[in-house]
Amino acid sequence: MANLVQVESNAILEASSGKTAYTNPTSPVKVRLMTANGSATAAGTEVTNSGGSTYASQSITFAAASAGSIANSGALNFANMPAATIVGVEEWDSAGTPIRRWFGALTANKTTNLGDTFTINASSYSKTLS
């Protein structure tokens, strides 16, 4: 589901090559829902609240990595969504100026109505390095 943004990719390459130390993300790491997907170098368009919705990014936790892959350990529930079509996700840290680290398209777009809950089930959000 997720792809590395270019800044994060460069940081991992430099750290794993002994050039620089890796800087861990500021916790908690948050997942944002997108109505237009970004790329490795540009952020997408995040869901915006309207009509009384209270969408907010959600903190994500991960199970242990295995075979070069890692997945969310618990469900992510985005409550009281606005009417929107969700096409992807982005992962951001919680620094004073948050840093985008991962992005990805959903396997299928999801349309929400005002007040719906959008859920990403446990083990359904994954990242792979191979």
pLDDT tens, 21-53? Answer: 999 999 999 999 999 999 999 999 999 999 999
> What is the Cα–Cα distance from 7 to 117, expressed in whole angstroms?
32
Q: How far is CA 29 from CA 24, 26, 73, 89, in A?
A: 10, 7, 13, 13
**pLDDT value at residue 1:** 57
Residue 116 has pLDDT above 70, yes or no: yes
Residue 90 has pLDDT above 60, yes or no: yes
What's the token pair of residue 28?
Answer: 């908690």
> What is the Cα–Cα distance from 32 to 116, expressed in whole angstroms?
16
Mean pLDDT rounded to a whole number for the chain? 96
Q: How confident is the model over 7-15, as a mean pLDDT?
A: 94
pTM to 2 decimal places: 0.94
Q: How confident is the model over 55-64, as a mean pLDDT?
A: 98
Q: Mention every residue, 6+ apart, whose C-beta is less than 8 A from residue 68.
A: 128, 129, 130
Model confidence at 130, pLDDT cuts 50, 70, 90, reads confident
**So where are the chain's domains?**
3-125
What's the token pair of residue 18?
Answer: 């002994």
